[in-house]
Structure 1
């Protein structure tokens, strides 16, 4: 049978550890600690007592905290207020017998509100400066100063700002771009962030030594070397030229070190002459500014053996025209090398003795020869001749044909024919359109009374027989006699009607479509009028005189 034993109650013998006080936001301090295990409570009603006082004060503020919590918040109107902090354990018997650990804590920080003043920049060399300033007032820091940030950028370069952190004045900043104008601003920063920047300070970095040239290449003949390169990416000033150094390599021994000064910064090629055949050389190039020579770049090559040039390959034909073409060449990479090239050529079918030779070119200066004064549409034979100080060597003949004059005009003829066809089609369409417009206007309606007015106004100048009417009445002796017979040429319809004819017949004929006595409007106005008896001022109503029915 087991028995229970009760542990006597007593005060705690320890206090919580890991006490801290930090400010996650302005005016707030959070006190935290590591919670104690129940076995260390040593009695009932266990709790924590948080004690704190602002720096410089004598009275402590105490706050009880439930045993299940391990943090407590302290509010303050002062930014980055410094506090002394203690956390003590307590139960129903009393407080801990252990002496609490006192730590320092701070309420939350805020960004600084003042910028450094009296900022000065001293240029030490082409890429280094020294910055000095007057510190900001302590009450404007709103926290703990962690340092100063120097923001600098090249004035004419977008997105070039860089930042360097300084601990105190003065501060050395290196690695700037030579021969550039900079703008610099300074700001103090704490745990919350950086404050306002100072007014910009501009300064100019002096010229520096240039960076290395780019793409150095070397090509050799028997006694010459051609070196080519590109300008440096960062001249760091105004380029004043280049230094080219060639050295003869005899195993591991360097002999005959010679420097060629090139004063033109735009010259990026140099021919080195009078070299020893079949020898290894080291070529070094450095760019220069007023600050001196920059980084060096070097390449190695060997000159070709002595002797007449090796037989060149067949010519290469480029840009063939009607009367000219460009002829290039390919030279062997082994054996004695050529320094110069010329082209020999003649018309196919002619005697080879009539062959012509072009001017001689330097292989380090040009890579093709322009052969001119050729005949169109003609085959020619060409030959490359390689030369050096030891002699010349001809290559194999090869054939090429100039372009005929018709070949160049063919495209134009086809184009002209096409344009003519388009013009003809457009004209036919225009003619068809005009015909359609005319047909749409034919048979249009017009006012009958307007037509009669036109006939009335022009009746004396237009013979009736021309309008499809009757001939004019002519009396036999010039005197009008009602009983006298009509002249031979008059129509009998006025005096002697056809058998069976009558007024009714005339109306019937009109109704049935007879148009022999009427115009296309169905009117006979003006067809029977007697211009000799019509009053001259009578023109408003032609029907009053124009019918004899």
Structure 2
């Protein structure tokens, strides 16, 4: 039983009605009051009367506690405790996020809630509201940042071709980073060419006139996200490594010439130039040419030049010799008697040897042979006086054919 407490003493007793306002009482609490009247003989107490104070808003409502859920950057777990002074009958709780009250309430037995579908790596504040019939109290806010996750929607890197061997690549941070960017990684045709926190990189040592694919990977502590691939082509450069043409002798007057494009065209080949002994004989895009109207038994040299818009490359020299054929243009020998039994025979080489001439052989009596080709005078001896003779000179090349006159 609580000790009685004198709240007020009235000494002006002439009134008919007395009034006193009792303050600093607790809400939703029963109190008993009585009146004690004094005179010179003593005092008399009235009977006790019980009064219950009205409900009021709760007091001592602590801020909620907010927790991360493991590996879940989009959910938060909120818990709270009842107010220290309920000041009435607790009816319900309400929850606020960023000063916006949820459209639903919680019964008094519920002291936790999982907030879902939140933005990753975003600051949120939560406050709890406790209500009685006497009013509601809002706690101080509790602030927390959601966990990091991989960035959202990484944009295409921007590509600018600088030269035949360089491409400049630049990029921007994702609009929704979902965390602190820890690094950017740039892949070129699947090969890592840059890692760091910069926003550009000059990619060098590339091949001319080659298309490259670039992918940007952006990472936070919560994961990484790749951009769609972006492609760019380096500029053209003069072609390199042109191999010598292949030659196929197809007769005594023709050679077939074939070739391949340069190992590194470094661009679009606009034309090929074929030269024979330094003279231009073909311009075009074909890689085969049949060279006719050549001379038999002659060695020819061929080169091929490949051209693009940036320059050209000429192949090494290829050599081929046409097949020989029988000499042509052989004039009759000139005969001049020099005595009763001697005749001088004179002849010229053929107009066209059509190959390498073998020793010139005049048809003579056994044991007599002529020298090699050239203007020659050969004496014929042991002939009968005043007789008619017919002789021929034979010129021979490396071919099995022969011509005579």
Give the structure, 1 or 2, with the largest relative contact order (CA under 8 Å, sep 6 or more).
2
Asked if Structure 1 and Structure 2 have the same fold, meaning a TM-score greater than 0.5 normalized by the shorter chain, the answer is: no
- Could you tell me the TM-score, scaled by structure 1's length? 0.27
Of Structure 1 and Structure 2, the greater helix share is in: 1
